[in-house]
Structure 1
Amino acid sequence: MSVLRTAAGRARAPRLAGGRQNLVTVAVVLAVLVLWQVGVTVAGTSVTVLPGPLAIATQADWGTVLQAAGVTVLSTFLGFLVGNLVGLVLAVVITASRLLSDLVFPLAVFVRSIPIVALAPFLILAFGRGPAASTAVAALIVFFPTLINVILGLRSVPAEAIELTRVINASALFQYVHVRIPFALPAFVSALKISAPSAVLGVMTAEWIVGGAGLGRLVVQSWLTLEVPTMWAGVVLSAVVAWLLFSAVSLTERLLLGWAVRT
């Protein structure tokens, strides 16, 4: 009975830790907002230089901001999904064949090493000016961390587990589905956490470089027209989108991989 209580306590520990972490996060955000507002009020900072949270909330063009956020969220989600899927598939391919590893991995490193600004003309020709190009940029930024982390996870399987599959004469497909991929899941989730905010940054950068109707474009246009509260509203909302995506990944990790979560 004591063993069962201990196991149940360990199962609840990640959930309790996650709840406390969320409360701490909310408290920190509220403290930052209060200090921000007090600071600009005491210093008498102009709204055109650095508006406070109250000025952003009351003076920003939230209709335009929310409309732009919808475009950014869609591109971010698609880029996040496609980039991670490509990274996962390439990682499996690379670890499954030495020949494919020698061919695919250097090409992946080369593609990821090219600056996004240099790729802008090709992206415009291939996808046009719009959400498709932004999605492609997010996917390019996201896939490499997933590729590296999943390769590490697939190659970190204990030798005893691999030897056991050979003893029972299991196929390579069985070895990947039942041994390698489950062992690589924690590394894959870690890659998702890294790529979540990167996907938002990639989309906003693309919207600024190749054009679009998302938050990246809105932030630049608002800055040029001195609509500073609207600009800051776009910046803050992009941070919220990144935080929500990261939180969704963390929640999925606690629900599906509670056995791998460390408190």
Structure 2
Amino acid sequence: MAADRGSGWRGLRVAILILALWEVAGRFDLVAGGALPSVGEILVRLWQDRADYPLHVWATLYASAAGFVLGNLAGVAAGVVFALSTTALRIFRGVNIAIFALPPIAIAPILVLTLPGMAPRVALAALGVYFVTMTATVVGISQADSRAADLVRAYGGSRRDVLRLVEFRGALPVILAGLRIAAPNAVLGAILAEFGGGGRWGLGTYLLGSLGRGEPDRLWGIGVIATLIAGLSYAAFALLSRRFLGSARAVTLNTAVPAAQPDRGPLARRIVMSLATVALPFFLWWVFIKATGVPDLIAKTPAAVVDYLFFSPAAGAAQERLWAAMAQTLPITFLGMVAGLSFAFILAILSRLAPRAIEAFMPVALVTQTMPLVALTPLLVLILGRGTSLTLWVTISVTFFPAFVTLAQGIALVPRSAEELPRVYGASRWTEMRMVTIPASLPYLFAATRLTVPRALLGVMIAEWLATGRGLGNLLNQSRGYLDYAMIWTVAAVSVGLAVLFYQAVVMVERRVLGRLGMTTAE
């Protein structure tokens, strides 16, 4: 308890020091000629704009809260089904990977085209939380105490009793950890949908309308409010977890798509299951189009996208534009992913070698984790301009923290006895890390990579959309302006496909490397 209190005071002192340095830098225009206003100037502008915020904040809160509730209900229900039925988990694996990997910015225009009113915001917020909660539910139920389940069965309990009394209760700490991470995701999803939704109210709408006014203090004020909403939602579920679970709460969250047991059935059955896994996402896409009743001119089925890209008179020009955009997006995505992972890896190592330094850095890291990406990007534009450095910074900022948490978790789980053996033979702390700790935490490095891949693509596309005027993000934005609906659907499909492809590539490398080393994955 005393250690927690000391850590809290250190964090508070660091936060005060950062705010003081920020105030000095802003007052004297030390950063990019005034692009970073002082804390006082931001607060004054927030007070001056106070009449603007209530309706904008309410719209964002309504959409994110509704999406949070709906997405979590779907996530928990799906998690229970997947935990009880490996067949269902295997069939829906393709859908789950697609939801995990999809860049929200790619489908935001799709939802705006096909859904009315606030529905696009709610839907994107729900998609942002579904996977996190579903995975937490599957992992929590799968790791329930089998001895307690056997006891319930011995006293005549049914399968439902085991689920209710043992498995779901045992999963509660992990589910609450999932809700804690899902809450800021819901806010990000709502704001992303507001950017392209054409509505009057919402923080995303307010931010978009303020971009061209040359008022850094207003942009920073909007970013602060968005960050406060996301941060408070994160803190609320962290407090709820502490209140009801105490020390039993989960430390971190599994970042992988839950793995079903290998199918040992007949070859024909395995082929049918594999085809169903691949076909189901496209079938649900087709069902969504038909269910919304949107005209064919606007809504494009998978077959329509294939026809546009390969067989229509405009196929050549469409392919040329798409390849040019991908050539701009993919290299910077790979570079940003490597940079974000490297930064996370260094921080994770330092969390063991210099824990107090990392504790001092954590307030800054938490801000980058909770600040909605669309609010962060315009602020970085003011400081860094619109070049490659901006895209890299955005990508690193959204990838390093989740990867760091995962890597730090893996390092913390290395048995102390294994670490002490090299020291007995006179090895230095770094030698012990290099020979024992880092190799032992290799599964978590792959887990962090799986998590980083889609986030890196999301960060790059948002930077391209809002600032750089390049790549897939800019092509998506241009297509909206030209009412080129076929290209909008094509970019969305290609973006999701690329993210899924990268994810699967990491999984294949992971299985090959860890299989040779005789290690299991962090799933």
Question: TM-score, normalised on structure 1?
Answer: 0.81
CA deviations on 1:201-259 (whole Å, 9 max, x unpaired) are: 22112222223211112112212321111011100110111012111211111121122
1:55 aligns with 2:314: no
Q: 1:75 aligns with which of 321, 332, 335?
A: 332
Distance, in Å, in 1 between the alignment partners of 2:388 and 2:418 is 44
Residue matched to 2:256? none
CA positional deviation for 1:143: 0.6
Provide structure 1 residue ranges, at least 5 long, that are not aligned to the other structure.
Answer: 1-13
Q: Aligned Cα RMSD in Å? A: 3.0
Equivalent residue number for residue 10 of structure 1: none
> Structure 1: which amino acid aligns with 2:476?
V
Q: Which has the larger radius of gyration?
A: 2
Query: Where do 1:35-54 residues align within 5 Å?
Result: 36=285, 45-54=294-303
Q: 2:483 matched to 1:260?
A: no
Q: Superposition pairs for residues 55-204 of structure 1, below 5 Å?
A: 55-60=304-309, 61-204=318-461
Shift of residue 161, structure 1, vs aligned partner: 1.1
Structure 2 counterpart SS, 1:90: helix
- Partners of 1:187 and 1:235 lie apart in 2 by 30
Shift of 1:98: 2.9
Separation in 2, partners of 1:133, 1:38? 39
> How far is 1:48 from its partner?
2.9
Q: Which amino acid aligns with 2:488?
A: M
Q: CA deviation at 1:122?
A: 4.1
> Which SS does the other structure have where 1:257 is aligned?
helix
**Which residue, out of 455, 466, 473, partners 1:216?**
473
**Aligned residue in 1 for 2:33:** none
With over 3 angstroms needed to count, the CA separation of the structure-2 counterparts of 1:193 and 1:45, relative to structure 1, is same
Distance 1:41 1:251 in 2: 35
Q: Distance in 2 between matches of 1:200 and 1:104?
A: 25
Amino acid at match of 2:303: L
Moved more, 48-57 or 117-126: 117-126
Contact 1:207 1:216 (C-alpha < 8 Å) held by counterparts: yes
Unaligned runs of 5+ in 2: 1-258, 310-317
The residue number in structure 2 matching 1:3 is: none
Shift of 1:97: 1.3
2:468 is paired with a residue whose SS is: coil
Shift of 1:69: 1.7
How far 1:47 sits from its partner (Å)? 2.9
The alignment of Structure 1 onto Structure 2 pairs a total of residues equal to: 248
Relative distance call for 1:221 and 1:183 in structure 2 (3 A) is same
Q: By how many angstroms is 1:104 displaced? A: 2.5
CA shift digits 1:92-134 (9 cap, x unpaired): 1121013322323333223333333333344324543244422
- Over the matched positions of the two proteins, sequence identity in percent amounts to 31
Deviation by residue 1:134-183 (Cα, 9 ceiling, x = unmatched): 23212111111111111111121112112322322221111100111112
**Comparing 29-38 with 102-111, which one deviates more in the overlay?**
29-38
Distance, in Å, in 2 between the alignment partners of 1:112 and 1:162 is: 31
Equivalent residue number for residue 6 of structure 1? none
Instruction: Supply the distance in 2 between the matched residues of 1:172 and 1:238 (Cα, whole angstroms).
Output: 43
Partner-residue secondary structure (3-state), 1:95: helix
Q: 116-125 or 241-250: which moved more?
A: 116-125
Shift of the 145–39 alpha-carbon distance from structure 1 to 2, 3 Å rule, reads: closer
Please name the residue that 1:28 is paired with. 277
Q: 1:95 to 1:247 in 2, by over 3 A?
A: same
* Cα drift, residue 85 of structure 1: 0.5
Change (3 A) 1:180 1:40: closer
| Counterpart Cα distance in 2 of 1:186 and 1:56 | 38
Which residue of 2 is the match for residue 236 of structure 1? 493
Q: Retained in 1: the 8 A contact 2:377–2:394?
A: no
Structure with greater contact order relative to length (CA < 8 Å, sep ≥ 6): 1
Offset, 1:23:
8.7
